[in-house]
Amino acid sequence: MNAQEIIDQIPDDTLLSIINKANELTWNFLALKVMLARLKLKLSMMDNDIARQQSCRDLRDLFRKSRNIPNAQKDMQLIAEQFGTPFA
Amino acid sequence: MIQGLYSVPEVTEMIGRGDVLLLAGDVDLLAQLPAGKWIGGSTTRFILHADELVESHDKIFVHNLSEIAGEIKISVYDPSTISNIFDDAYDNGFSVLIMAWGSDTLKEYSINVSSYHNFACKVICGWITKNFFDNENPDISKAVCGKDGSLHSNSGVVMHVALPADKYAEVHTFSPFKQGKGDVFMFEENGLQVENACINGIKQNFRQYLESQKIDRSVECIVAGDFAGTIMNVYLLRDQKSDRGKYVSFSAPVYGGVEYRFAEIDLSYEEPTSFEGDIVFSLTCITNYTQPEVFKKYLRNMHGPFTYGEIAYHLMNHATIYVTVGNVQEPVYAS
């Protein structure tokens, strides 16, 4: 599997857990930090199916677009360790 | 990578040979330059190699990107178009945004950026121009579009820079401040001015809260927000005329839902000293110029303008921003 296929396989539930626990982990990639802060706020204000699906799409997009950046890769490994995603 | 102070004739020569330049200097100097592949902003304070802090009215600070830049686009955005900035940026590259203090484009961007399409999916950094503590002459604070030499006090000027496929860009921010141990406050929405905040979970008028805590706003007063582990600072405005009664005004937006505390200096903080890639652009807050005895030691690897607001996706204060360009690495995940 290449990186994109792996990212595509992360379940939405895992992405939502990452958002909910955004402040509990030590992230490396600034773009991910500001994205998580934004999505956490968004879901705190309108927690419905559409908002959840859009948030998962936004987070997945960021992972795809940053998959070759070392700090983003470190964070994806962190996610694998914490959430047991297909990275592991 | 060419970085440093250069005379107008030297910068003119770089422009003439087609170099890609990010410039900062006295607006009268920038206005003398020919059209070319550059953008600029007005400021006269700079940090040079070996943490030398200087004021210059006869030289321009240059970040020369010619060695790393592929294609570039230079654009001017007004408040109605700035929301396109992430969409317009190259997929692989970075964009530098310069806006004038007090401009409508700055207000629009700073409050609403996190709702822009593709937010954080492209690298956006930048800075705010302002004459050095001169609130009486806002007109000399300009962003300059080198494509045609136009000066902008109400629009933002952007250089979108594409990188070769084997390179990537990343923006970083750091500050020696951390959140203090005092009350936690959360605001209801994004804004440069707030009425209420939840203080330790209880909604109160924020101005009354500051008065009850005897917060002295005549001195520098910073609140620090926690963005999933990155601390972003904003100042309480000292000039309380803009507070409009029951409101409190800030120099950069506070964000609804983010946990803020009053900031304090982290005495154990150490500046970044190892970098994945080369630093191609950097800038730092003007407060580091005015209090060198405190902050100079954190800036030994940074070279660029002192600024009145720093952008790493969000607008913030009392930060140092830098962009690195490194070699892409194929991920090594097991399948």
Give the percent of chain B with pLDDT over 70: 94
The residue of B94, B123, B170 whose CB has the most chain A CBs within 10 angstroms, and thus the best one to mutate to test that interface, is B170
| pLDDT > 80? residue B228 | yes
- CA–CA separation, B326 vs A31, rounded Å? 16
Partner-chain contact B228 A23, CB within 8 Å: yes
- CA–CA separation, B236 vs B284, rounded Å? 19
Nearest to B121 among A30, A65, A70 (CB): A65
Partner-chain contact B330 A68, CB within 8 Å: yes
| pLDDT > 50? residue B63 | yes
Overall average pLDDT of the B235-245 stretch: 71
Which position has the higher pLDDT, B72 or A80? B72
pLDDT of res. A85: 64
Per-domain boundaries in chain B: 3-173+271-327, 177-265
pLDDT of res. A2: 67
Q: Rounded mean pLDDT of chain B?
A: 91
Partner-chain contact B120 A67, CB within 8 Å: no
**Letter string b/e over residues A48-86, b meaning 16 or more CB atoms within 10 A of that residue's CB:** eeeebeebbebbeebbebbbbbbbbbebbbbbbeebebb
Most confident of B104-118, B258-272, B279-293: B104-118
Partner-chain contact A30 B173, CB within 8 Å: yes
How many angstroms from the chain centroid is the CA of residue B12? 26
pLDDT of res. B240: 63
pLDDT of res. B133: 56
| pLDDT > 90? residue A45 | no
pLDDT of res. B121: 96
| pLDDT > 70? residue B239 | no
- Enter the tokens of residue A82: 């914490």
Overall average pLDDT of the B2-18 stretch: 96
- Interchain contact B50–A (C-beta under 8 A): no
Partner-chain contact A22 B228, CB within 8 Å: yes
| pLDDT > 80? residue B15 | yes
- Interchain contact A36–B (C-beta under 8 A): yes
Overall average pLDDT of the B95-100 stretch: 97
CB contacts < 8 A (A, B): 99
- CA–CA separation, B234 vs A30, rounded Å? 18
First to last CA, chain A: 12
Q: How confident is the model at residue B6 (pLDDT cuts 50, 70, 90)?
A: very high
| pLDDT > 70? residue B244 | no
Q: How confident is the model at residue A83 (pLDDT cuts 50, 70, 90)?
A: confident
The model's pLDDT over B151-190, given as tens digits with 9 standing for 90+, comes to: 999 999 999 999 999 999 999 999 999 999 999 999 988 8
- CA–CA separation, A11 vs B36, rounded Å? 48
Overall average pLDDT of the B216-243 stretch: 83
Most confident of A4-13, A35-44, B61-70, B223-232: B61-70
Q: How confident is the model at residue B271 (pLDDT cuts 50, 70, 90)?
A: confident
With H, G, I as helix, E, B as strand and everything else as coil, classify residue B36: coil
pLDDT of res. B58: 96
Q: What is the ipTM of this complex?
A: 0.90
* Cα dihedral across residues B69, B74, B79, B83: positive or negative: negative
- Interchain contact A74–B (C-beta under 8 A): no
Question: Strand B310-312 vs strand B124-129: parallel, antiparallel, or unpaired?
Answer: antiparallel
pLDDT of res. A88: 47
| pLDDT > 80? residue B306 | yes
Radius of gyration of the CA atoms of chain A, in A: 12
Q: How confident is the model at residue B269 (pLDDT cuts 50, 70, 90)?
A: confident
| pLDDT > 70? residue B334 | no
Q: How confident is the model at residue B288 (pLDDT cuts 50, 70, 90)?
A: confident
Which residues in chain A touch residue B313, judged by CB atoms under 8 angstroms apart? 30-31, 34
| pLDDT > 70? residue B132 | no
